[in-house]
Every structure is written in C-alpha cells, then in structure tokens.
Amino acid sequence: MLLTLDTVKESLLGGVLIGAAAAGLLLINGRIAGISGILGEAIHLRAPTWRYAFLAGLIGSAFVAPLIGIAPVVPQHQAGLAALGIAGLLVGFGTRLSNGCTSGHGVCGLANLSPRSLVATLTFMAVAAATVFVVRHLLPPGALT
Amino acid sequence: MSSLSQEARRAPPFLRVAALAVTAAAFGLIFGFGLIISHMIDPARVAGFLDIAGNWNPALAFVMGGAVIVAAPAFWLARRRKTALLGTGFALPDRYNVTWPLVGGAALFGLGWGLSGICPGPSLVLLASLTPQALVFVAALAAGIFLADTIKAKR
C-alpha cells in the first residue's frame, strides 16, 4: 500500500467531491455537512426533514455509485465484531461530546478557519495514529479480531 | 443569489421544506461518492494512513486537503452573508471556544477511529452493504450518541 499516482488521484477527486458537497450544503441550505451532527440530531426522530434526506443520499450513494461507473471498494476490516462495537461506542460518544467528526471538524471546521476545529482535528488524528501504532506494532497480530 | 433567496423566503413552507430536502439529498449523495472514490470507506486504507511508523500511506491527506481547499471559499462567503440560496440563515458554529469536552471527546473519537478505521460518514455508506461489521458499528455508534446526549441533557 504505497503512495501511487492513482491513489493520489482518487484521493484528490474524492476530496474535491466531499468539499463540493460541504460547500453546496452551506451555500444553498446554510448548513454544515458534519455527519456526526446530522446523524446525532436525526437519531432523536424530531429533526428537520433535510437531515433525513441528506442521510438517505449518503447511504444511497452505495447503491447509486456502481450505476454511474464508480469502481466498487471492498472494505477490509482489521477489527473483529467486539472491537468494532467498542469502537463504534467511542466514536459516537466522542464525536457528540466534541460536536464534530472528520467531516464537521476536519473538513468544515478547517475550511471555516476555526481554531476550535483545528484543536479537535489534531487531537483525534494524534490519538488515532497512536492507537494504530499500539495495535499494529505493540500488540500481537490479530489482537482485535 | 440574493433575489433567489428572497424568492425562496416568499415560497410556501412545504415548497421550501421540499427544496431543502432535495438539495440535501443530492449533497449527501455527492458526499458519499467522494467517500467511496477516495477509499475512505476502506478501514485498511484509513489504518494505512494512520500508521505513521509502519508502511505509511499518506494518500488520505489529499482527501482532507482537497475537501478543505474546495470548501474554504464557501465558508469565506458564508461568513460575509446573512442568508443561503434557499433563504435560510447560516448555522455557523462557534470557532474559538476550546473546552475540555472538545478535546476529551476528540480523543475518545480518535481512539475509536484508530481501533476500527471507520468514522461516522463512511460507516453510513458501509451500512448499505448490511454486513455484520457495518451493522454492529452503526448500532454502537447510535448507542454512543444516545449516551452522550443523555449525559449532556442532565448537566
């Protein structure tokens, strides 16, 4: 898994689409494309309609992508179900506590030149990198499966 | 831009709700395409990016970099305007208040992201595949959100 021109191209193209969606939702709807925030409000079943529509589009992208020629991506999980359950809890709890995730703080917050989001982004990046270091280099192989 | 937003404000409420829903669905779709094309939905690719000491793959830095560069002018514009195209005000969050819940929450999120290689957006794209991994992660994600909101509401 080294850096090739193809992975740079697909990363940039994907990033540009994510940025364009965030820009569009902001300029046309006036809202932040922060997934944990949109999902967090929607989960309480009393959120404005647009949140459910956005989430339907996001989930639906998996079905529409192959129809318009986007190459399928087969996800390779490195964690077992128990570890994924614990991770999901941490991600849900943590993003709600800090009011944002990779999209809300990492994309929208940084694009909005927010020092608050810069602190959050540097924190979750650093802790995630430290976690991967422990899992891949200190724990025995397959410790999470 | 302003004439359209004035027009939108005069439109019947159900039309505004419908317009906001249709555009939001389109942007959710485009957002999802971006996550798929960039391989953000592949936990192995994400872990490769986070594994600085190992076989580091910096590709995902181009995802965030590309997204931020494209979105930044929109935020610049939003900070200088009162209403969006469909007539709603801009819901821009506070930019400066660094608090312990912000840092602590981000650290817990980082721990979960490092363990799984999955953040909230990709988890919802993966949910469409209905694999046990996606179902378990999203169910736990929802439980974590509920827990945090319950604690927040009590304080």
Condensed to tens digits (0 to 9), the pLDDT of residues A98-140 reads 999 999 999 999 999 999 999 999 999 999 999 999 999 999 8
* Closest chain A C-alpha to B48 CA, distance in angstroms: 7
Under an 8 A CB cutoff, do B75 and A112 touch?
yes
pLDDT above 70 coverage of chain A, percent: 99
Separation of alpha carbons B28 and B149, rounded Å:
24
Separation of alpha carbons B152 and B154, rounded Å:
6
Separation of alpha carbons B14 and A76, rounded Å:
43
Do residues A14 and B21 lie in contact, with contact meaning Cβ atoms separated by under 8 Å? no
Q: Which residues in chain A are closer than 8 Å to B154, comparing Cβ atoms?
A: none
pLDDT at B1 over 60: no
Measure CB to CB from residue A17 to each of B37, B121, B152 and give the nearest one.
Answer: B37
pLDDT at B111 over 70: yes
> B155: helix, coil or strand?
coil
Do residues B71 and A31 lie in contact, with contact meaning Cβ atoms separated by under 8 Å? no
Interface of A with B in 22-81 (CB under 8 A): 22-33, 35-36, 39-40, 43-44, 48-65, 70, 73-79, 81
**pLDDT value of position A4:** 84
- CA nearest to A10 within chain B: B38
- When pLDDT is averaged across residues B132-154 and rounded to a whole number, the result is 95
Nearest to A12 by CA among B44, B58, B51: B58
Separation of alpha carbons B135 and A132, rounded Å:
23
> B144: helix, coil or strand?
helix
Q: The tokens of B32 are what?
A: 């999802």
- When pLDDT is averaged across residues A23-37 and rounded to a whole number, the result is 96
Is residue B39 left, alpha or beta, with left meaning phi > 0 and alpha meaning psi from -120 to 50?
left
- When pLDDT is averaged across residues B16-28 and rounded to a whole number, the result is 96
pLDDT above 70 coverage of chain B, percent: 98
pLDDT above 90 coverage of chain A, percent: 88
The reply to whether A143 touches chain B by the CB within 8 Å rule is no
**pLDDT value of position A1:** 52
DSSP assignment letter at A140:
P
Report in angstroms the alpha-carbon separations of B90 from A101, A132, B83.
20, 37, 6
pLDDT at B24 over 90: yes
**pLDDT value of position A59:** 98
Name the band, by pLDDT with cuts 50, 70 and 90, for residue B139.
very high
Mind listing the pLDDT tens digit for each residue in B30-69? 999 999 999 999 999 999 999 999 888 898 999 999 999 9
Q: Which residues in chain A are closer than 8 Å to B125, comparing Cβ atoms?
A: 58-59, 61-62
Under an 8 A CB cutoff, do B63 and A12 touch?
yes
CA quadruple A75, A8, B54, A130: dihedral, nearest 10: -80
What is the residue-averaged pLDDT of chain B? Answer: 94
Separation of alpha carbons A98 and A120, rounded Å:
7
**pLDDT value of position A2:** 64
Separation of alpha carbons A105 and A18, rounded Å:
13
